[in-house]
Structure 1
Amino acid sequence: MSRSDQGAQLARIYEPRLLPSESQAHFEMMRDALVAELKPRCVIEEMWVGEIVHGEWEMRRLRGFKDLIVTSARGLALKNLLSIVLNASGAADIDDLAERSVTNKAVRNQVTNILRKHRMSEASIDAEAFRHCLFELGEINRRLAELSSRRDKSLQLLEDYRAGLARPRHPAEGTAVMTSGDDGD
């Protein structure tokens, strides 16, 4: 078995459990690209590469979750904006208007016109949804920073390990040994 095959084999050990919405093919493509780039040469390097693979997949997952979280908050955001511009009159009517705007084109046009009258747009809905999700997005960003730091540390450990393998193991190895009476001439 070649080293790259061994690296891919070990990286599979660190394969995260994929969620139903995630693609096994995308994971394997990312894993194989990382293994090909880093070319682990021993089991220690393979462990670091496995950690890097796992962390990169989690980062990819979390970045996708950020978009989904904001998108899922759009309904609440629209209700809030409509409450503001319609002076919170008829909360049930506002809820109905916001919900029907998702499936009914005429209602969607009506909502768009209401927002335009108040100098708002689809981007206003996105901004309000984002505002509602700031805490959750902050937590994800903290986790992304942790994972990025771990990846960078693993890459540095890999680099240091490889540099250590290139150096002589004992200080006397690779240097001329002077004997008594020899002045180096």
Structure 2
Amino acid sequence: MRVFPKDLGSLFAKRPIILGETTEAYDELLSKATAAVDPTDILEAIWVKDIVDLIWESQRLRRLKAGLLLTARKTALERIIQVTDDPVSSIMRDRSELQTLGSRWLEGEVDAHAEVAAILKQRGLNLDSVMAQALSDKLIEIERIDRMIASADARRNKALSEIERRRESLARRVKSEADDIPG
């Protein structure tokens, strides 16, 4: 008899969904993982649910890390321009003008992108410089997120190993019993 999470009622009713995520995407991942592992009993079904939750958490953390870097771009751009600004030939000395440019740049305005690219080029920099500054500004948070991702991935791998170990043990028992059958 195969056991599928939908057959287990309330045990699988709760989904670890946060704002911006969909139950449909989670359910699709759970369904695909269940089909791939093909749990044979309640323990394996629980491990599959744990594995899916850990995959979901790991992917969420990766998205959040990317989002953190994206939100840090504006501040990083402002800092780079201010730090590298030459007071004698300054293009941008007014902080509010710089903040407005940063906002327009983030909104995707073509003129703002061209202006930012020109300012960065004048200083021997590029968009990678902005992202490097954003990374530097958020490095502690990113390292923390990376540790959380590594932890979720390690727990997922352990659950997968438990299923494999359990199945190998069962296969050995069945083989042993089959060998004991007179024939």
Range of TM-score over shorter length: 0.7 to 0.9
Q: Does 1:81 align with 2:80?
A: yes
Distance 1:9 1:123, change over 3 A: farther
Q: How far, CA to CA, are the matches of 2:142 and 2:150 in structure 1?
A: 12
Among 126, 145, 148, the residue aligned to 1:143:
148
Q: Which residue of 2 aligns with 1:159?
A: 164
TM-score of the aligned structures, taking structure 1 as reference length: 0.80
Displacement, 1:166?
A: 2.0
CA-atom RMSD in angstroms? 2.8
Distance 1:172 1:69, change over 3 A: closer
Q: How far, CA to CA, are the matches of 1:16 and 1:149 in structure 2?
A: 21
- AA aligned to 1:94 is L
The structure whose residues are more often helix, as a share, is 2
Deviating more after overlay: 56-65 vs 23-32: 23-32
- Structure 2 runs not aligned, ≥5 long: 88-92
Displacement, 1:107?
A: 4.0
Distance 1:143 1:107, change over 3 A: closer
RCO higher in 1 or 2 (8 Å CA, sep ≥ 6)? 2
8 Å CA contact retained: 1:100, 1:107: yes
Distance 1:10 1:71, change over 3 A: farther
Q: Does 1:47 align with 2:40?
A: no
Map Cα deviations across residues 31-62 of structure 1 (whole Å, 9 max, x no partner).
11110010000111111111111111111111
Q: Which has the larger radius of gyration?
A: 1
8 Å CA contact retained: 2:16, 2:53: no
TM-score of the aligned structures, taking structure 2 as reference length: 0.81
Identity of aligned residues (%): 24
Q: How far, CA to CA, are the matches of 1:44 and 1:126 in structure 2?
A: 45
How many equivalent residue pairs?
A: 174
Map Cα deviations across residues 58-109 of structure 1 (whole Å, 9 max, x no partner).
1111111111110000010011111012158444443343334445543443
Q: Which residue of 1 aligns with 2:125?
A: 120
Q: How far, CA to CA, are the matches of 1:176 and 1:30 in structure 2?
A: 42
- Structure 1 runs not aligned, ≥5 long: 178-185
Q: How far, CA to CA, are the matches of 1:107 and 1:129 in structure 2?
A: 19
Q: Partner of 1:71: helix, strand, or coil?
A: helix
Distance 1:112 1:21, change over 3 A: same
Map Cα deviations across residues 86-140 of structure 1 (whole Å, 9 max, x no partner).
1584444433433344455434432221111112122221121112111111111
